[in-house]
Structure 1
Amino acid sequence: MSNHSMKKLFPESFKNSKGMTLIATFTLMIAFVVATVVSATTNEQASKKEVQTSEENFANRFAGESIQTVASKKYKTTAALNLRKGPSTKYKKITTLGKGASVTYISQKNGWYKVSYKGKKGYVSSKYLKRTTKVSRTNYKKGRTFYVSSTAYTAYCNGCSGKTATGINLRKYPNQKVIAVDPRVIPLGSKVLVQGYGVAIAGDTGGAIRGNRIDVFKKTKRSALNWGRRTVKVTILK
């Protein structure tokens, strides 16, 4: 562009007036708007990442453990069977357990129990295990009210079947109110009033549910995360 044309667009009188101040102000305003949009986008991405991380942590809490677990930890084998590295016959054998071998339950997946045997950990078929620890029934009583520590879970955690220890299909009936309990404290099949949750069926157990602790069933990860960990009052109704 020629100097003559430049002078027509930006005459000297304009350069030396308030026009340059207006241009500078307008430029700063554009820069501020751009910076605000970039910042908002970055914050939104960070927020989504935090939610994703929380959900991943929640899923990892139950990774490899089925909803349908058992109350007792001590078992004996009813036949000679193989201790394997994974929950099926396709996994390599670690060792062979003789009939009557004592094992300690850790978790469950696809009908196989992860157990500990003489310092070794592996999977065995649950069909050939018999519980040896008797469950005490002296701690619970109809009408009893007490406080418990509570957490929450869903039917879609990693490795979960969606069925409870008493056979309730939580994926088919997602609105069912169910809690996982320690049967020595709250009997399976009981109706329990849970503060902030409502009347629920004690229809599940869990490897980490011991003593005065319950897990309340929630149909979504978001609602389970929102429940968090809290102390609640429970009353055994029947």
Structure 2
Amino acid sequence: MGYTLVFRDVLAQWEALLLGAVQTLWISTAAILLGGGIGVLGAVARGSRHAALRWGSTVYVEAVRNTPFLVQLFLIFFGLPGAGVQISAVQAGLLALTLNLGAYATEIVRAGIEATHSGQVEAGMALGLRRGQVIRLVVLMPALQRVWPALSSQFVLTMLASSILSAVSVEELTSVAALVDSRTYRSFEVYLVAAGFYLVLTFAFRAAFAAAGFLLFPARRAGKR
């Protein structure tokens, strides 16, 4: 039994699909910025001299990394209103993505920090740098440079994971694709087009993170000359 691809009805809904892609883009970008910040803070906390910070960050990371993202999303979307905290679907999705990424980013950045030789820290202190300057210039920036490829890959995975937000009716790309499917009954064509959008977004994100790494880490530029 043959199947003929017919994209006409699907492409007639291109504006809705484009708006879904834009929604995916901004939610993912916001989650990456916020989750990346949490990752840096979490990594620093895991190496802190204060037990409360170490234990708090450890519990957060282990709880997130060992539970499904969909369960985390449902916990926020359904659980918070039950506790009296009113939150929209978009806010719940953004919060879930941010917290999920923050846990994984914490471990990635921590690996970079642990690769910093103690002699470098001692050298920074001997040069008269304050503790905050040592953490930022001697520990964090070199650590981020080392793990930037892995961190960039995790950021892309976060963008792709945003498709799960369709489960709570966030009108991102996958949710819009399902709506178009219900209108056109051309499931194969709809999800082929949606996959094409995700491929474009993936390549765009990877290019953006490569450019960001080029700008943020001069030593990486010098090493490639």
Shorter-chain TM-score tier:
under 0.3
Name the one with the larger helix percent: 2
Name the one with the larger strand percent: 1
Larger Rg: 1
TM-score in terms of structure 2 length: 0.25
